[in-house]
Chains A and B, each alone.
Chain A
Amino acid sequence: MNAVPISWFLTLSAVLFVLGVAGFLFRRSIITVFMSIELMLNAVNLSFVTFAYQYKQVSGHLFTFFVMVVAAAEAAVGLAIILTVFKNRATLNIDDVDSMKN
């Protein structure tokens, strides 16, 4: 048996997505939370490429391409925001960044 069932790829995607959610919810370092978002985006990208294989359409690859571009832009802006937060508050813990809570 040589071929891989397509559901294995989608299950791997689901596992990676849930791990990304876990990192997003459980971690307190703002940089690690940001990396968990990237992990979730990667998991969704794997789903898109798998669907592109299943339906033999190139559109899934295009969606992945656009997700990558948006993720790169998001990383640039997000890390600039992290730098600004660190400059103003000297902390990377998301529990300490609570000025909108009151």
Chain B
Amino acid sequence: MDIVLFLVFAIIAVVAAVNVVVQTHPISSAVSLIGVMGSLAILYLLLGAEFIAAAQVIVYAGAVMVLFVFVIMLLNAGAEAKRGRSLVAQLLGVPVLLALLGLLAYFVERAFPGNVKVHFGGFTGGSAQAVGRALFTTYLLPFEVTSVLILIAILGAIVLGRKELD
């Protein structure tokens, strides 16, 4: 059952990710990206990361993508204009990317030769309780620094978005 679940949502994720890249209209890319994030949330559940799966849906598929769609609609962004592409990019781009993928897959296969298997329930340390305990003991300082980072980001967004005073 696990392998069916993985294959279904992995294929959905890859197809949606391809769609993010090939669609010319930003809003189609945004909706495809929500599909990627939703199927990744299912895969996180399969890996026993309940809290991260919930955070993925709420923070990524919810908040971040709503922000994206909001900006796309605010700017009334249409399909992107086709321009003359550079010849080097056309000739080298796809082969180099495939070489990068092959290299990554080769090292993954070499480092993890299939002896570790993932099955649902194999790791139960990803509950909100376990994540919260680690967050407020071992990772307390990064957590507090993160709150400062978010404050700075809010201030930056306000400064960038305000009307210029003459």
Contact = CB atoms under 8 A, between A and B. Distances in A.
B134 to A, nearest CB: 5
A99 to B, nearest CB: 17
Contacts, number: 241
A45 B1 CA distance: 24
Measured as residues with beta carbon below 8 angstroms from the partner, the interface class of chain B is: 35 or more
Nearest to A31: B26
B contact patch SS: helix
Given A70-B149, A73-B153, A75-B67, A18 B123 contact: no
A62 B89 contact: no
Interface of B: 1-3, 6, 10, 13-14, 17-18, 20-21, 26, 29-30, 33, 36-37, 40, 43-44, 46-49, 51-52, 55-56, 59-60, 63-64, 67-68, 71-72, 74-75, 77, 80-81, 83, 89, 93-94, 97-98, 100-101, 104-105, 108-109, 112-114, 116-119, 122-123, 125-126, 130-131, 134-135, 138-139, 142, 146, 149-150, 152-154, 156-157, 160-161
